[in-house]
Amino acid sequence: MTALPALLEGITRVARLAGEEIMRVYAGDEISVEHKADCSPVTEADTRANRLIMRELHNLSPQIPVLSEESVSIPWETRQQWHEYWLVDPLDGTKEFINRNDEFTVNIALIRDGVPVLGVVYAPALETTWKGLVGVGAWKQEREGTPQPIAVKPLPASLKENVVTVVASRRHGGDALQGLLASLATHFQDVREVNMGSSLKICLVAEGSADLYPRLAPTSEWDTAAAQAVLAAAGGDIVKTDLTPLRYNSEDNILNPHFLALGDVNAAWRTLLGSSTTV
C-alpha cells in the first residue's frame, strides 16, 4: 500500500492537472451549460476534469475504488463493502464557475472507514492549494510557493470582548443562519460574516481566517470530504448540528445532514449556538 504522505503529493499533482483542464474551459469566450436530472448545472469543465482525475487515480492507486460526482452511480450494495475509497468532486462550485467569480475548486479525498484522512482542495483560478493529512498536518500553497503550515484559530477566553468570524454560502442561509448569528451575537462583541462559494469556506476555517462555517442547506458528501480532511488535519472538524461527528458512506443516500465546520473544537459551541445546534 502506498504511504499516505506519498499519496498526498500525488493527489496534489492530480488536482492541479484537473485545474488546468478547468481553466482551459474558463478562459473561453462562452461556457456551455447543461443540466443533470436533479437540475444542477454541469459544464465541459466538470467532464474534462473528471476524466483526468479518474484516469490519474487509477494509475496512482488502482486498488482503491473511486466515487465521483460526475461518474456513473455506484450501487449502495457495492459501496457498503468499501473500507477505503476516493471521494471526488472534480469541480465544486459549478455555479461560481459559470458566473466567473473564481470561487470554485477541485476536491479529492481519501476516506477510510467513513472518515476523511487525506484531502486536497485546489482553487485553479486563485492558484491556491489546501491539503491535509490527518494526524500529520495541513498546508496552504499559493502558486508555486512553498507550502505553509496552517492551523485553526482558538476562540478567545474572554468572548464578550472579541470578534467571531462566520463564513457562509453566497446562495444559502435563510432564517436558520440568521438565528445562529443572533445567538452568537449574544456572546461576542462583533459577529463578522464572510460570504464565499464552494469548499473554500471550510478552507478559511482550516487556515484560521474564520471560526465557523454553518451549512444549513443541502450538500453532498463529495462537496465536503476533501476540505473536512484539511480542516481535521489543521485541528478542527465538521460535525452535525447536534455536534456529533459527520461521517461518510454510512447509508445509501450521499446527502449530508446540516453541519457545522468548527475551528476551535474545544470551544463551548453548544452554549454559543444555543437552540441552533438542533437545526
Considering only CA atoms, which of 43, 45, 52 is closest in space to residue 24? 45
Q: Which helix (H) or strand (E) holds 273?
A: helix 269-273
Report the C-alpha gap between 40 and 224 in whole angstroms.
Answer: 17
Beta bridge partners of 34: 42
Buried b (16+ CB within 10 A) or exposed e, 33-47: eeeeeeeeebbbbbb
The set of cell numbers assigned to 190 is 462583533
Domains of the chain: 4-149 (3.30.540.10), 159-278 (3.40.190.80)
pLDDT tens string, the chain, 279 residues long: the values are: 568 999 999 999 999 999 999 999 999 878 888 888 777 888 999 999 999 999 999 999 999 999 999 988 899 999 999 999 999 999 999 999 999 999 999 999 999 999 999 999 999 999 999 999 999 999 999 999 999 999 999 987 666 668 999 999 876 666 788 899 999 998 898 999 999 989 999 999 999 999 999 999 999 999 999 999 999 999 999 999 999 999 999 999 999 999 999 999 999 999 999 876 554
Beta bridge partners of 63: none
How many helices and strands in the chain, by DSSP H and E? 8, 16
Asked if residue 210 lies in contact with residue 204, where contact means CB atoms within 8 angstroms, the answer is yes
| Burial class of residue 92, CB neighbours in 10 A (0-12, 13-18, 19+) | buried
How far does Cα 266 stand from its chain's mean position?
21
pTM of the model: 0.95
The set of cell numbers assigned to 262 is 468548527
Region of 135 (left: φ > 0; alpha: ψ -120 to 50; beta: rest) is: left
What torsion do the CA atoms of 278, 121, 201, 260 make, to the nearest 10 degrees? 10
